[in-house]
A and B are shown apart, each in its own frame.
Chain A
Amino acid sequence: MNFAEIRRALGVALWFVFLTFPLMVIRVDSIESTIEWRWMNMLWVAVGSFALSLLTSWYFRRREAAVGKVSDKPPLAVRLRTWTADPARRLPLFGALAAFAIVFPFLFSSYQTNIMTTALMYVVLGLGLNIVVGLAGLLDLGYVAFYAVGAYSYALLNTHFGLGFWTVLPIGAALAALFGILLGFPVLRLRGDYLAIVTLAFGEIIRLVLENWNDFSQGPSGISNIERPALFGIELTLNQSITYLYFLMLLMVIITIFVVNRLQDSRIGRAWLALREDDIACQAMGIDKTKTKLTAFALGATWAGMVGVIFAAKTTFINPASFTFLESAIILAIVVLGGMGSILGVIIGAFILILLPEYLRALADYRMLAFGAILVTMMIFRPQGIIANVRRTYQFTRKDA
């Protein structure tokens, strides 16, 4: 830490004190005509920005010093992969994880189980969005629309026609995929940033329609008394049903991991990667750009649709307020924080972003503030996410060798 850095930090602190003065310090009650001066806030801003400035200076100094020096440590993802490749470690590790996951609902209260189910839902949503953003490289800001399609499919088909959870699960998935194709077909030829904005607009249109088309969706008041899923026709008590949903989500997470893994190493997975690298060369080599992108878009939507059905069954009540742009942003933050394209990263990202605010209740108010800050910070300091995705390349070995 040198004098220039401290002087700079003082300047930064002073600037932020000025910047935040009208909104952080003054609060007006215009009905009572009173002004509240919150000088303590000014102190916090000054101390906070001073510290952050020093921290970033230190970080950049360290990073500059590291330039030129090639780190001999392989990336985290590779180290994890080599570490778990050994069956002597792998079996106990996965065994312990599996055992913990299975006994979880019996060890903890149904309240905890419920939270864990929510976290698992976000794991699946994150992995679904990861197909679109991480694998195919398409920034979809309206992902929540497909989640809404799934949730409303179950809510409407259940309340109007009495269709059960298991019947609607594939229907919801199919409808979401259909929506994905219908929306995706015209928009996927757009450039990256325009695509992001158009998907955002589509997401908002769907939410606004749900909010205003009262005859169809019962508007802002939403749909209540949706049935919980039944187990082979047996009615479950509330607690049993929570446990049941937990296991259902656990199964869903495992299936999703399996599928995403398989997709990555397939003919389509390669096409997604190539399209991300150079779309003109890709088309010249005979890959249908629209079809390939649409596949990713529809697959992502399918997962959102399924989780949507589960969400409606879990909460037994849905309304359009659950499907705002912020929901899309949260799922995006999970993918960005964890590491685009990395399955393990997305899982860790979902657990951090969903469980942390639940257990640190004091911080719950700052949840969205933190999500915004995470998106910015990750892009600047670690765009590859916590677990930087290192793709397994196809290793060719000659048969005769």
Chain B
Amino acid sequence: MQQSNTAILEVKGLSMAFGGIQALNQLDLKVHGGEIVALIGPNGAGKTTFFNCVTGIYTPTAGDVLLTPPGQKTTRLNGLKPNVIAKRGMARTFQNIRLFQNMTVLENVMIGRHCRTSSFILGAIFRPPHTRREEQEIVDHSYAILEKVGLADVVNDFSKNLSYGQQRRLEIARALATEPSLLLLDEPAAGMNPQETQELDKLIRRIRDEGHAVLLIEHDMKLVMNLSDRIYVMDYGRRIATGTPQEVSADPAVIKAYLGESDDA
């Protein structure tokens, strides 16, 4: 795979404390263009907190989060609002699925197009030609993404009526609609059967090939080991290991973290 040397996401010394609890401690992480990177660790290691800090849902207590979309300037994301971060080119999915339940599958993805479109009150009221074109673009683009993730035959269904695996794919589709240069996936395979996981594997590779770097949190080790270019391992809010799947799986600290004190390896 073509790997560029510039890091799309660079996280330096990221720390987050809730009251007295240090959820993240001096975490460093890099994702390069064209890479699939995995973030693993036992439950409660701080992985989702990491996502929340990076995407602006929490404001980290210390550290830097730098985003450099290809061909653009670097921006420091700390303290920016989630919607600004999404617009800069980083989108995410949620571990506990957060779809818009009473909107159709297509409408869910159309929401993802919001930050790439601009019509406003007057456009809504008078519907001039450029607004109509923009609406058509939103629909076409959204449908194209749904075809890609394999949800084309349920476009008009309410998202609450989808199966678990379909809902996870819809979350990915919605995030892709924001045209992210980096896509964060929070446990995309959770609740999927082996066949669905297989399809997910293919989908993530395809997303990478189309130019989106991917950072994922995942508990399915088979998927992680197959898919990832590099892996970061976290425990107790710290980074305990990093490297290729082979390097990481041989690391004594990782084995200890998984086998020594957690029952959910």
Contacts and interface: CB of A to CB of B under 8 A. Distances in A.
Do A's and B's CB atoms come within 8 Å in the complex? yes
A96 interface: no
Given A270-B110, A273-B103, A285-B178, A396 B155 contact: yes
A299 B125 CA distance: 12
A299 B121 contact: yes
Contact of B143 (A270, A283, A396): A396
A284 B94 CA distance: 10
Nearest to B105: A396
Contact of A269 (B55, B100, B124, B175): B124
Nearest to A393: B104
B111 A282 contact: yes
B139 interface: yes
A72 B158 CA distance: 19
Contacts of B135: 267
Contact of B111 (A262, A271, A396): A271
Interface stretch (B13-21, B112-120, B213-221): B112-120
B100 A278 contact: yes
B82 interface: yes
B55 A263 contact: no
B83 A274 contact: no
Contact of A287 (B83, B106, B119): B83
Nearest to B139: A396
A189 to B, nearest CB: 11
Nearest to A273: B103
A396 B106 contact: yes
Contacts of A391: 102
Interface stretch (B30-38, B41-49, B84-92, B225-233): B84-92
A199 interface: no
Contacts of B138: 267
A289 interface: yes
Interface in A277-331: 277-278, 280-289, 295, 299
A281 B156 contact: no
Nearest to B127: A262
A281 B94 contact: yes
Contact of A283 (B83, B110, B139, B175): B83
A394 B155 CA distance: 10
Nearest to B126: A262
Q: Which of B86, B114, B175, B177 has the most CB of A within 10 A?
A: B114
B57 A280 contact: yes
A268 interface: yes
B124 A268 contact: yes
Nearest to A289: B83
Contact of B110 (A263, A277, A278, A394): A394
A299 to B, nearest CB: 7
Contacts of A282: 100, 111
Contacts of A285: 83, 86, 91, 111-112, 114-115, 174-175, 177-178
A136 to B, nearest CB: 13
A259 interface: yes
A50 to B, nearest CB: 41
B123 interface: yes
Contacts of B81: 283, 288-289
Interface residues of B, number: 45
Contacts of A267: 114, 117, 119-120, 123-124, 134-135, 138
A259 B125 contact: yes
Contacts of B82: 280, 283-284
A200 B7 CA distance: 50
A323 B123 CA distance: 33
B107 interface: yes
A271 B102 CA distance: 13
A266 interface: yes
Q: Which of B82, B119, B139, B175 has the most CB of A within 10 A?
A: B82
B99 A263 contact: no
A263 B156 contact: no
A88 to B, nearest CB: 28
A262 B132 CA distance: 12
A122 B105 CA distance: 37
B83 A288 contact: yes
B161 interface: no
Interface string B141-183: 0010000000000011010000000000000001101100000
Contacts of B262: none
A55 to B, nearest CB: 32
A259 B121 CA distance: 10
Contacts of A281: 94, 98-100
B101 interface: yes
A395 interface: yes
A138 B104 CA distance: 23
A88 B204 CA distance: 53
Contacts of B120: 267-268, 295
Interface in B34-80: 55, 57
B59 to A, nearest CB: 14
A284 B111 contact: no
29 contacts: A259-B125, A262-B124, A262-B127, A263-B124, A266-B119, A267-B114, A267-B119, A267-B120, A267-B123, A267-B135, A270-B103, A270-B110, A274-B103, A278-B99, A281-B100, A283-B86, A284-B55, A284-B82, A285-B177, A286-B87, A287-B111, A288-B81, A299-B121, A393-B103, A393-B156, A394-B104, A395-B156, A396-B106, A396-B139
Given A263-B124, A274-B103, A278-B100, 5 more contacts: A259-B125, A286-B115, A286-B116, A288-B81, A295-B120
The 8 closest A-B pairs by CB, nearest first: A286-B115, A266-B124, A286-B86, A281-B98, A283-B82, A277-B100, A396-B155, A274-B111
